[in-house]
Amino acid sequence: MADQATILHADLDSFYASVEQRDDPGLRGRPVLVGGGVVLAASYEAKAYGVRTPMGIAQARALCPGAVLVPPRMKAYSAASKAVFEVFRDTTPIVEGISIDEAFLEVGGLLKIRGTPTEIAARLRAEVRERAGLPITVGVARTKFLAKVASGVGKPDGLLVVQPGEELAFLHPLPVERLWGVGPVTAAKLRDRQIRTVGHVARIGEAALVTMLGAHAGRHLHALAHNRDPRRVRVGHRRGSIGSQCALGRRPRPFAELEATLAALVDRVTRRMRAANRAGRTVTLRLRFGDFSRATRSRSLLKATVHTRPILETALGLLTAARPLIEERGITLVGVAVGNLDSDGSVQLELPFDDPHDEGLDSALDAVRDRFGSSSVTRAASLGRELNPSVPLLPD
DNA sequence: TCTGGGGTCCTAGGACCC
DNA sequence: TCTGGGGTCCTAGGACCC
């Protein structure tokens, strides 16, 4: 392991809410909620009232009656993210994006040209503020894991450096929930055994953790509690699946409506696949039911594809097979994902088409029409417009 | 605290192959 | 003839992340 803290974890603060406050001065200093049914992001003014994500809007309003609710503007967030990642890449070539609002940066080896990691991190924060107008917190440490913990502790709008000699003293008093990979289930298992802090985790043996949590999770947690994390910052990560889902609420849905919704979701997913030039082979149907139980059903095609029709037919087949389950429990969410994406990046399209973004239209709707008749097609088209407001499913 | 939409990784059994 | 060891792929589920 390197003996210097050279890994930065940069994490934008309340990202969506900060973008809203940046773009509307009237929102600055006020509690802001971004969301529709649930809170997608809350400004720190709102978090002070106990608002968290993903909390229902009604509950958030009850906690913070003065909050301003703003609908999400995904295009603005994606543009803001691009601007911030430009700052990242101007700082160092070794940037690993984790999500729309956070990344790891390796800054070892830049000492002579850009200064110490602490200096680089301070300048990075200033530049993100200057060029993107957004607050960001940076954690600096020797491991990815600890850099991430540091940015979490350093929030909001902070810079926290954990030097090699201070690591365990910093880490051990923290609650177990701070460990990456400890969610509600694992935290409850640990709490049942009076294990509340990272220090407690570090003091029990690896074997006991493995018994408690399984082989991988046990070893992983044991290593993290001792700040052992050999993962390097990796450039050029490619996603393994592309998916889309749609919450349906609690009211019952006719089966044909589910099929139409699924058609619209598949259309959206395959558009994104073609835009990204990634073909996929495994189609996964995701369902959630009235009692909050879930199910997934998947089927692998013989050959990877970017085309709407084979993916839609596979997805509809999975949905039909799951019909008894759906009718028994009541469905509240339907989703589809395509995985096993081509890894080489050189997709051979099976059929030529002029505009890859328009290919899904007829093909998707033909498949629905063949099976379900034209009322489902109309329904799929209108759902498609709801799901893809910027890309109409049918020509106007 | 009754829950959105986008993902990742791990586990485990069964089929199938040599 | 009733049986080893090792490997890969498929499928389903679960936990977790932002």
DSSP state of A14: T
- The answer, yes or no, to whether residue A357 has pLDDT greater than 50, is no
Same CATH topology for A1-163 and A241-392: the answer is no
The pLDDT mean for chain A works out to 88
Percent of chain A residues topping a pLDDT of 90: 79
Residue A314: what residue type? T
Strand C within 7 A of A113 CB: no
CA-to-C1' span, A52 to B15 (A): 46
- The answer, yes or no, to whether residue A383 has pLDDT greater than 80, is no
Q: Is A106 helix (H, G, I), strand (E, B) or coil?
A: strand
Catalytic site residues of A?
Answer: 102
Q: Which of A251, A330, A265 is nearest to A295 (CA)?
A: A330
Nucleotides of strand B lying closer than 7 angstroms to a protein CB: 1-12
pLDDT range class, residue A373, cuts 50, 70, 90? low
| DSSP letters for A152-189 | HHH-SS-EEE--GGGHHHHHTTSBGGGSTT--HHHHHH
Strand C within 7 A of A185 CB: yes
CA-to-C1' span, A54 to B3 (A): 7
pLDDT range class, residue A390, cuts 50, 70, 90? very low
Strand C within 7 A of A282 CB: yes
- What is the separation of C-alpha A78 from the centre of its chain, rounded to a whole number of angstroms? 13
pTM above 0.85, yes or no: yes
Q: Which of residues 318-377 of A touch strand C (CB under 7 A)?
A: 340
How many of the other CB atoms lie within 10 Å of CB of A104? 22
pLDDT range class, residue A132, cuts 50, 70, 90? very high
Domain ranges of chain A: 1-163, 172-225, 241-392
By C-alpha to C1' distance, B5 is nearest to A245
Domain A241-392 is found in CATH 3.30.1490.100: yes
What whole-number distance in Å separates Cα of residue A45 and Cα of residue A32? 7
Between the alpha carbon of residue A77 and those of residues A15, A35, A133, A165, A285, the distances in Å are 8, 13, 12, 38, 28
CA of A281: nucleotide with nearest C1': C10
Q: Which CATH number fits domain A172-225: 3.50.50.60, 1.10.150.20, 3.30.43.10, 2.40.30.330?
A: 1.10.150.20
CATH topology of domain A1-163: Alpha-Beta Plaits (3.30.70)
CA-to-C1' span, A113 to B5 (A): 41
How many residues in total does chain A contain?
396
DSSP state of A388: -
Strand C within 7 A of A214 CB: no
pLDDT digits (tens, 9 = 90+) for A32-89: 999 988 999 999 999 999 999 989 999 999 999 999 999 999 999 999 999 999 999 9
